[in-house]
Amino acid sequence: MHTLNQLQSGQLVGISKLTLSESLTEFPLEILTLADTLEVLDLSNNKLRYLPNELSQLKNLRILFASNNQFEVLPEVLGQCENLEMVGFKANIIKHVPENALPIKLRWLILTDNLIEALPNSLGERPRMQKLALAGNKLTALPENMSQLQNLELLRISANNLTHCPDQLLDLPKLAWFAFAGNPFSAADLHIENVPHVSSSSYTLHEVLGQGASGVISKATWTEKVDFPQEVAVKVFKGQVTSDGYPKDELQVCLKVGQHNNLVKPLAQVTEPDCLALVMALIPNHYRNLGLPPSLDSCTRDTFPEGFTLPPRHIDKIISQMQDVYDHLHMNQVCHGDLYAHNTLVDDEGNIIFGDFGAASMYHMLSESQQKKIKHIEARALGHFIEDIQNLKAG
């Protein structure tokens, strides 16, 4: 994190990444003094509404984050930034995306949690696009020419107002991670009761075990007598919408999938007006993350610690288990949407536990043809998972 004072005093000359969060209401023009070197600009968590036309002077700018600001229109000047590849405007109040606002080299666009009702046709004219996050808007349709996005690999359209399945997307040749729950076309009025309801007062939360876009997972112990292990994990969902969709859809998907040896085991659910939570079996401490999330450079593909390898027998075992998980999910007509090594835990014997259903979508309401295409899309993700794991083979 940098300060405005550092910028104005010239202390930051020559840097390639700048992060400013000081409740800014105007773009500091002193940023332009970094034009020769600046590649990453993070202006998230301010009070900005506009960007100046001078932004295009940042000829080396590749990545711009401006989440949690007050933009109502995606700035048109972005389209004039000749090397801009990644644009993130999550959690603003954007209603309008101008035709000329999308950079020609764009490959990663994040517009999650805004008020967008329509997107320009120029979106379908960005051939480098790999990753597109549109969840939590008010979209009623998507441009037909998005069928031209031949390099699109990850797409989030959950929690919108789409009345028809966007068939123009289902035949994209590289699409592998797809989330679409929480739209009228994918509405599933299910209230699955295969685990009991409990009160949020029936347990006490302890240390945080992990957290993601949709909630916080904590260790918990029961304050009442129940027929469960005394120590459990509880995922308390946060907010009305996440980067992947609605928390209530995630809860229902977890319950619909049911039991599997390699999935996190649901035990109970909390569905109170001010608390939505899933009680799960506690994962043993000897499990660890199999992979790391994609980086800014890898975009859609998992990353792994440098030098990390696996014995060949563990690789075969992990792949076999994940293939079985994939079959189980799609037997239950569920697309996970985030089939990645970084959502997979592994122990020293090569046993895996797979979780994080934030991007999962039920698809039993779709036509038979659409269902086959959804399954085929996730088969690509499985293929990428297998390729990444095989590349970890110990020499």
Q: How confident is the model at residue 395 (pLDDT cuts 50, 70, 90)?
A: low
Q: Which of 256, 281, 306 is the last residue of a domain?
A: 281
Rounded mean pLDDT, 50-68: 97
Residue 47 among known ligand-binding residues:
no
- Residue at which a domain ends, from 281, 298, 316: 281
pLDDT in tens, 80-133: 999 999 999 999 999 999 999 999 999 999 999 999 999 999 999 999 999 999
> 116 with 41, same domain?
yes
Residues 224 and 332 in one domain: no
Domain holding 303, by residue range, is: 288-390
Please write the tens of the pLDDT for every residue from 146-162.
999 999 999 999 999 99
Determine, yes or no, domain membership for 59: yes
Cα(229)–Cα(288) distance, integer angstroms: 22
- Torsions phi, psi for 235 (to 5 deg): -100, 115
Burial class (CB in 10 A: 0-12, 13-18, 19+), 207: exposed
**Residue type at 264?**
V
Nearest-Å Rg of the Cα atoms of the chain is 22
CB 6 within 8 A of CB 12: yes
State percent of the chain over pLDDT 90: 86
Average pLDDT over residues 7-34: 95
- pLDDT-derived band at 194 (thresholds 50, 70, 90) equals confident
Q: Is-contact 302 292, C-beta < 8 A?
A: yes
What's residue 14's pLDDT? 94
pLDDT at 213: 74
One domain for residues 316 and 377: yes
Handedness of CA 368, 369, 371, 372 (dihedral sign): positive
Q: Which two tokens stand for residue 367?
A: 């036509």
pLDDT (0 to 100) of residue 241 = 73
* Whether residue 274 is found in the same domain as residue 317: no
What's the domain count of the chain?
3
**Residue 133 and residue 204 in one domain:** no
The rounded mean pLDDT for the chain is 94
The Cα-based distances of 18 to 25, 64, 74, 80, 183 in angstroms read 17, 10, 21, 20, 37
Return the closest-CA partner of residue 53 out of 27, 73, 71.
27
Q: DSSP assignment, residue 127?
A: T
DSSP 1-12: -B-HHHHHTTTT
What pLDDT, on the 0 to 100 scale, is given for residue 243? Answer: 64
CATH of the domain at 374: 1.10.510.10
> What element of type H or E holds 167?
helix 167-170
Least confident of 140-154, 201-215, 316-330: 201-215
Continuous segment of H or E residues that includes residue 330: helix 312-331
Mark whether 382 and 262 lie in a shared domain. no
Q: What pTM value is reported for the model?
A: 0.94
- Among 189-203, 297-311, 330-344, 372-386, name the one with the lowest average pLDDT: 189-203
Look at residue 85 and tell me if it is in a domain.
yes
pLDDT of residue 208: 94
* Residue pLDDT, tens place only, 262-311: 999 999 999 998 899 999 999 999 999 999 999 988 999 999 999 999 99
In a domain, 166, yes or no: no
* pLDDT of res. 249: 86
* CATH number for 224: 3.30.200.20
What residue type is assigned to position 98 of the chain? P
Banded pLDDT at 215 (limits 50, 70, 90): confident
Structure tokens at 101: 């606002």
Three-class DSSP category at 236: strand
Q: Is the pLDDT of residue 198 over 90?
A: yes
